[in-house]
């Protein structure tokens, strides 16, 4: 055996790795390793084939090398460690480097300010009020069938202001969490109330755990980098409280976490909640206030050396904290902090988190000054509370909301609008990205002069609604990621703000009806429109049923919040909250209940209002506005800030009503 072979092999590996790194190649490092180790292993095998002590280790080296470099997790490590062009995050080496970096961005970038407290009411029940809580004895019913929060991705729960587990109902109302026995409806009642410290935002239910997010403003005294104490006036915090609700009549606080920054969004997968907060860059006493997390009154300042950053970021800068919480244990599983741009939208699959932000700049590429927008995508893997940053990508244009994004069979799909409608240069695009967020395929220039109003990815298709004067519904085939193509297009008056799957070949659209203006230059919004689309023939999509609610000014919370949209195909049920305008005035607010089927289309089953009929103008009381609906077995529950009403689904007769 040649004595020089092993040192030579190590030297080749080292030099090859350095070359690949400085070449900024994505796969050069693993391929150089493969090209060197496998031949060397074969040489050992051939030279020592008569000695098991030599050829068995050689075979093992070859097998381990191939298996390691064929593993996507290992390749991800090589890609992120060697691919500088992808703007992979780095950590600051010191506080001073953080301060210098922030000061060098955008001509200084940071605005020094003192954050003032907002004026708000926490909405807690007034002391000395005449409200009394009658708990009493009762037996809880176990539902065979009940609705859950309308979410984008199956298996990825989204927080909301109302939750149910089929037996109990949990409602955020007037600064409290109200826990009700909901099933059976005839004996429904309030079991307990939890008064919250901050302004409640939304919550999750996980078995016998309740997780609530609150916005808190208050005085905080924090350790300083350069001085003993730093006094920050009125920072915004996100308070996370986990309650043990094993006994629904006496919920017990299990843990309390304060995370610096305002609440952005969250998701829950199995027993883990993934939460994102954004903390503005703030100076106090010439120091940058560092992010922190306080768990059960023990505060941990995140040192600058634990903060990730990117070479190219855009103002406004924030410290984005991504935290994973084990909800059953009530403990923080992991957190990562990034100095980045204010987040815009978030999409979460069972395996990954995608966070986007949009940036703009002027360009003279076409011989004239033009404003160019781009959307940056940050991808992180998540698993059992673990968080790992993977890739950064970028596409032209800006996205509308979370439904403009989707992950399918390893590809990330995203719909964007470039340009501006008012300038007449708007165009719409679909980009399909590989696992590493490199471009796999695209289709650009759809509906010139219009912008995206809604998008829905369903398997190998995406349905896209754009609008200026009419509503084109595009059916786009994504089965070949490298070559997406438009299959069909339908043009009808109005538009859809939200698209919801009815089944694999039919869609429900919720939006506004429109009429053409007298001069024909634009469209005038009218009432709320529900439409049922047939896309079984993708080249010829059509509307098989539609229903117009009210006149111009009629609105629905579901137009901007999909969680207010209740649909059950098995029950032929669709419910949306409506603020009705007729004859030019507000006429009614409540829940519109529809029958929906392919055979019969859309038919109004009835309406449910929480307004007090004794009031002369009950519509003016926001506490009576129906904001959510759900069903448990054959009972429809509608929820406003002031009431939960229960109606029989078969005829909408009232069963019970509980004041909150």
pLDDT one-digit tens code per residue, 83-108: 433 567 899 999 999 999 988 765 44
Antiparallel, parallel or unpaired: β 370-383 and 220-223: unpaired
Instruction: State the pLDDT at residue 138.
Output: 43
- Which stretches in the chain have pLDDT values below 50? 1, 20-27, 72-73, 76-85, 107-138, 220-234
Instruction: State the pLDDT at residue 129.
Output: 34
pLDDT digits (tens, 9 = 90+) for 477-508: 999 999 999 999 999 888 999 999 999 999 99
Instruction: State the pLDDT at residue 80.
Output: 42
155 CB burial (10 A radius; 0-12, 13-18, 19+): exposed
Angle at 265 between CA 592 and CA 172, to 5 degrees: 50
148 CB burial (10 A radius; 0-12, 13-18, 19+): middle
Instruction: State the pLDDT at residue 555.
Output: 97
Antiparallel, parallel or unpaired: β 370-383 and 352-363: antiparallel
Calpha distance 355→348 (Å, rounded) = 9
DSSP 359: E
Instruction: State the pLDDT at residue 642.
Output: 96
Calpha distance 90→338 (Å, rounded) = 9
Calpha distance 300→215 (Å, rounded) = 19
Instruction: State the pLDDT at residue 422.
Output: 75
Q: Of the candidates 275, 137, 119, which has an alpha carbon nearest to the alpha carbon of residue 199?
A: 119
Q: Of the candidates 230, 309, 217, 224, which has an alpha carbon nearest to the alpha carbon of residue 260?
A: 217
Instruction: State the pLDDT at residue 131.
Output: 32
Distances (CA, A) of 1 to 34, 52, 62, 451: 22, 14, 18, 69
Distances (CA, A) of 437 to 86, 376, 379: 9, 10, 8
Instruction: State the pLDDT at residue 393.
Output: 95
Report residue 141 as tokens. Answer: 């019913």
Q: Of the candidates 180, 113, 247, which has an alpha carbon nearest to the alpha carbon of residue 646?
A: 180
Q: In the structure, how many helices (H) and strands (E) does the chain have?
A: 5, 44
| Cβ count within 10 A of residue 499 | 25
Instruction: State the pLDDT at residue 207.
Output: 96
Helix 28-47 and helix 52-69, axial crossing angle in degrees, nearest 10? 160
50 CB burial (10 A radius; 0-12, 13-18, 19+): exposed
Instruction: State the pLDDT at residue 471.
Output: 62
DSSP 624: G
Beta bridge partners of 268: 157, 273
HSE-up of residue 511 (Cα within 13 Å, Cβ side): 29
């Amino acid at each position: 055996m040649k004595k020089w072979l092993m040192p030579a092999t190590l030297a080749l590996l080292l030099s090859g790795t350095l070359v690949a790194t400085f070449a900024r190649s994505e796969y050069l490092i693993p391929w150089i390793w493969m090209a060197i180790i496998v031949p060397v292993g074969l040489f050992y095998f051939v030279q020592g084939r008569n000695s098991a002590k030599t050829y068995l280790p050689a075979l093992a080296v070859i097998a381990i090398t191939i298996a390691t470099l064929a593993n996507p997790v290992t390749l991800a490590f090589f890609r992120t460690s060697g691919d500088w062009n992808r703007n992979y995050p780095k950590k600051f080496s010191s506080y001073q480097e953080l301060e210098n970096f922030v000061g060098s961005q955008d001509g200084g970038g940071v605005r020094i300010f003192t954050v003032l407290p907002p004026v708000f009411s926490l909405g807690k029940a007034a002391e000395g009020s005449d409200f009394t809580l009658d708990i009493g004895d009762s037996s809880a019913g176990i539902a065979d069938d009940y609705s859950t929060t309308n979410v984008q991705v199956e298996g990825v729960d989204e927080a909301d202001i109302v939750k149910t587990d089929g037996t109990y109902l949990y409602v955020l109302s007037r600064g409290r969490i109200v826990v009700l026995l909901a099933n059976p409806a005839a004996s429904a009642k309030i079991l307990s109330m939890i008064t919250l410290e901050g302004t409640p935002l939304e919550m999750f239910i996980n078995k016998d755990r309740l997780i609530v997010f609150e916005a808190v403003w208050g005085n905080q005294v924090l350790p300083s980098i350069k001085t003993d104490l730093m006094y920050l006036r009125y920072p915004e915090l996100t308070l996370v409280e986990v309650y043990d609700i094993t006994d629904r009549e006496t919920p017990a606080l299990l843990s309390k976490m304060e995370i610096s920054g305002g609440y952005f969004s969250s998701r829950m997968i199995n027993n883990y909640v993934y939460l994102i907060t954004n903390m503005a860059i703030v100076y106090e006493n010439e120091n940058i206030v560092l992010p922190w997390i306080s768990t059960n009154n023990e505060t941990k300042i995140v040192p600058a050396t634990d903060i990730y950053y990117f070479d190219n970021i855009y103002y406004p800068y924030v410290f984005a904290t991504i935290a994973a919480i084990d909800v059953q244990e009530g403990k923080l599983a992991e957190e990562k902090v990034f100095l980045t741009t204010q987040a815009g939208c978030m999409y979460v699959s069972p395996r990954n988190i995608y966070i986007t932000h949009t940036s703009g700049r002027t360009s003279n590429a076409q011989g004239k000054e033009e404003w160019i927008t781009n959307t940056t995508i940050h991808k992180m893997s998540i698993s059992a509370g673990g968080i790992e940053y993977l890739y950064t990508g970028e596409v032209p244009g800006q996205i509308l909301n979370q439904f403009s994004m989707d992950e399918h069979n390893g590809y990330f799909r995203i719909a964007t609008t470039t340009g501006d409608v008012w300038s007449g240069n708007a165009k719409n695009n679909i980009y399909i990205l590989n696992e590493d967020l490199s471009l796999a395929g695209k289709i650009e220039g759809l509906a010139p002069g219009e912008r995206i109003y809604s998008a829905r990815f369903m398997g190998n298709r995406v349905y896209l609604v754009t609008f200026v004067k009419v509503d084109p519904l595009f059916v786009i085939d994504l089965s070949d990621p490298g070559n997406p193509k438009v299959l069909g297009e339908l043009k009808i008056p109005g538009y859809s703000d939200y698209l919801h799957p009815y089944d694999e070949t039919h869609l429900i659209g919720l939006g506004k009806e429109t009429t053409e203006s007298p001069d024909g230059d634009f469209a005038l919004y009218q009432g709320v429109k529900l439409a049922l689309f047939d896309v079984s023939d993708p080249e010829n999509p059509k509307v098989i049923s539609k229903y117009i609610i009210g006149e111009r000014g009629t609105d629905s919370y579901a137009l901007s919040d999909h969680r207010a949209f209740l649909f059950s195909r098995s029950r032929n049920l669709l419910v949306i909250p409506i603020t009705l305008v007729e004859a030019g005035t507000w006429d009614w607010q409540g829940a519109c209940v529809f029958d929906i089927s392919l055979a019969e289309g859309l038919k109004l089953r009835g309406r449910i209002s929480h307004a007090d009929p004794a009031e002369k103008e009950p519509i003016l009381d926001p506490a009576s506005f129906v904001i959510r609906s759900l069903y448990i077995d054959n009972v429809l529950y509608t929820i406003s800030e002031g009431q939960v009403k229960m109606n029989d689904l078969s005829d909408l007769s009232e069963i019970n009503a509980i004041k909150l």
